[in-house]
Structure 1
Amino acid sequence: MRYYAFTPDELATPSRPWLDLDVDPKLAWALAHMDAFPVEVMDASLETLLRVPGIGPIGARRILAARRTRRLRVDDLQGLGVAFKRARYFVTCGGKRDLAAPLNPELIRQKVVSDATGSKYNATRRQAEGQLSLF
C-alpha cells in the first residue's frame, strides 16, 4: 500500500471485506477497475504507472526516464524491469496493445492464476480462513 498509494478502502470494502487469495491485491484492484485501463505508458504519470499490475516502483521510474529520450515499444518494457506477462493486459505503447491479451477481467484473472500455478485454472475459490477483516 505504501509504494502504490492504495488506501485500505480501495482494496477491501464492507461489501467485499476479504482479499482474493488467488491474486495479489494490486491485480484484484485493477480487475475491479478495468475502466482505468489500458494505460498509455508514453503519457501516464508515475502514480498511474504504479497502479498497473506488473509495473513496480523501479520499472515505473525507468519508464519515465526512458520515454524522455525515445518512443517506447512493447519489447522495451521487459528490458526496463516490467513483468510484461502481467502488465500486457493493462498497457498500451504508442497506442498499440497486445491483441492476444483479453480485456475481460475474468479471463485475465483466469490466465494470471493459471500462469502462477502452472496448471489449469480451478474455478473453486479457496477458503478465506485466517484473514482478518479490515471492517
Structure 2
Amino acid sequence: MEQLLLPVLLMLVVAVPLVMGTRKQKRAAAQQQELQNSLSEGDRVMTTSGLYGTVANTDDDTTIDIEVAPGVVTTWLRQAVRERVEPVVEDDSADEDAPGSHEAIPAEEASASSVTTTSASSASSASSATEDKKTEESGAQIAPPLEHGKK
C-alpha cells in the first residue's frame, strides 16, 4: 500500500491543476458566449482587434453591424466582440478647466526648453541657431537627440 502512495500523490499534483484550469476556461467561454448573445443595438463594444464602436444591427445570428464613426457601419462576426464598454461621457466644463488639454505650449516654455536643449548639445552651429528661432516662432518642442552607444 505504501508503494502506491507516492505515485497517487504525484498524479493528484498533476491532475488537480489541469481540472481547475479546464473549469476556469469553460466558465470564461460561457461568459463570452453570454455576452455575444446579449448584445443589443446601441451597446458600446470593443472588438478583439481593439476597435471601439456602437452596435447598429443584431438581426443575424453570426454577424453584427458596428458603427465605428458617424455614418460608417461595418459588419463583424459576433465572436470578434471582446467586451461591452461604458459609453464615453463628455463633460464640456472639464475640458475647459483642464490645463493644456488641447492647447499649444506657451512660447516661454518652448524657448526655455530649446535653450536647455541647445546648451546640452556638445556641438552648436549656425544651423541649430536658426532652428531654435524657428522653434520659438512655431511654439513646437524638439526632443534632444538620442545618444546610442555612449556609456
TM-score tier after normalising by the smaller chain length: under 0.3
TM-score for the superposition, normalised by structure 2: 0.20
TM-score for the superposition, normalised by structure 1: 0.22
The higher-RCO structure (CA 8 Å, 6+ apart) is 1
More helix by share: 2
More strand by share: 2
Larger Rg: 2
